[in-house]
Structure 1
Amino acid sequence: MKRKLKVGVVGATGMVGQTFMKLLEERSFPIQELRPFASENSLGKKIDLQGASWPVQVLKEGCFDGLDLVFFSSGDDISKEWAPKAVKAGAFAVDNSAAFRMDPNTVLVVPEVNGNLVTKDSKPQIIANPNCSTIQLVVALKPLLDKFGLEEVRVSTYQAVSGAGQGGYDELMEQTSNHKDDHQPKTFPHTILFNCIPQIGSFNDEGYCSEEVKIMKETRKILGQDKLKVSAFTVRIPALNAHSESVWVTLNKEVSRDQIMATLSEFKGIVLQDDPKKSVYPLARDVSGKDPVYVGRVHRDPENPKMWLMWVVSDNIRKGAALNGIQIAEQIFFS
């Protein structure tokens, strides 16, 4: 029987935090005590989970005492300050922010890919949850890396507004319901309705936005391939939830399509939807609310026999955030 854990969730009332709660319920995650943390605006609220009601708290000194595990989904600044305090209090800190992802002393984990980095023998520490668009990419790449080797990866993403949090979701819904009006964007740099915005995050001097840099750096770290060539271009689109990616993968050798398909289909966490002549391929609105990473439209490049193209779609709030964090916890406590 699994032992029940004392769990904290920082950012419990946000979009990812609410998905944490939903998944903890769905997966019957064994909880002895829940401490949901949020801003002072949420004081007085209660979170219902597994037949109990837990009052929302604010972060303060000693708030993590006695906890086994704390999930963080409240942004870089809060994680930088409070995640080390959770570890000092004796808890594992699973952090969904970018604060520690590229820290050489912090593991960056996708359980299907490099879950061996955390086990039941691990000591309390900060464990970084990767960027949402990176997670689905590396799940699709890992079986190909292991079987055939990777030479180069190029990815163009088409990312849903939920990736920008509740504000992004609400902004698209508001613009859609008043689609004839002029809109003043708040969350995004331009109106997202009927539009595609080739910017996610801020730009550096080389012309890359921060989301692209995250994908390129995190992919190498998670796969353990420091020399792998990775190039990314990210676009925000007016889909509500689930990110889509077109991926060009150059392998180390020539293989058949049957070999590629068998390798992908056998990998835990991947669902193949690939019958393009019948218009069967993953779609964001179908994938939203589901756990796996979906792959389709797998085909060879006509000019380079070692290059393969594929379409990768996953729910960015579930597998791209909350689910991956819970799977990390399950790897530590119940593997």
Structure 2
Amino acid sequence: MPLGVASKVKLALRNRSNQRFDFELVDHYPTEHEVKDFPFKVSLDPGQRIELDYAITPQQRGDFEFKQCELRFNSLLGFWNRYFKLGEESSVRIYPNYAEVIRYGVLAAEQRLAQLGIMKKRQRGSGTDFLQLREFRKGDRMGSIDWKASARMQKVISREYQAERDQQIFFMLDCGRRMRSMDGQLSHFDHTMNAMLLLTYVASRQGDAVGMMTYGTQEQRRFLPVKKSVNNVNRFLTGLYDLHPSTMEGDSAAAVQELKKVLKKRALIIVLTNMRDQQDPEMLESLKALRKSHLVVFVALREEVFAEQEQAEVTDFKGALTYSALSQFLRARKKALESMQGNQIITLDVAPSQLHTKLVNCYLEIKNSAAL
């Protein structure tokens, strides 16, 4: 089941006796998740079979157990209750929300990606991989003209290119304490996981290889090597579904040194983190070292509550102090990001709810511009 998405659980009951039963039914679902419509009040006639269903909305990722269903029968005079347990225990895995991946696939097939916020544009003549020869069109670059083909065909012919395939996309996922921040019902970490899944799907469709590594956690270190496969989304789902942020601070410098040992070919490296106002000199130096051999995108998640507080009306002295502190915080944060941009590091300063579309659009722009 996907995180944060309501799913249906079905229960089937059959009365094999010759007696009518009236009872209450409760399914012992994992208490970490949100459930409505319990308990059920059920009446079963002899030989009758019914199906009941209820909605469960997972609130955490990982492995969880459904215990046996419990039935409560009241005595005729209501002096006592009798309880029975039925069914078998079962386990379920809660994965990151892959609903946007499915939605992307449907909208891509119907050429309606704009509904998802994805601006997919083909730029004629862009890219480095030759696609085809075609007749010259208005807007084509003069450098794209194939003069030999034009002389042979007796009309102006252009070479059309497409974005290069077989490139490498690699995620560096911060699992430190800052990623535990909540926006809505999901943490920044869960928003990041969902966006990473969507971009993995898009990049795999583009013919690129994808991999990832975590930093900021010792107990749950994960490394998925770069691999070109249409099953990359499943590989990420099964490899990361039970990964959670730690209470440690992320050590980006050590992670970069580890990455440089295993990633030899030029790649698009995407760092996913929650950056506050202070500039981290070690982080900047690490990214500059990566920039020498790779194209680096630094994604800084921004708490949405900051925008709400910035737009709030100031009516008292306490509000003025809050506004002043917030303004100072945002200026320092902006300065830190500008410092990265000055070192040719692409930055995305984005609210968690907008991360999936912003990240995919950034990737597509890089592919179209042949920057990688």
TM-score normalized with structure 1 length: 0.31
Determine which structure has greater relative contact order: mean sequence separation of CA pairs < 8 Å that are 6+ residues apart, divided by chain length. Answer: 1
Structure with greater strand share of residues = 2
Which entry has the higher C-alpha Rg, 1 or 2?
Answer: 2
TM-score normalized with structure 2 length: 0.28
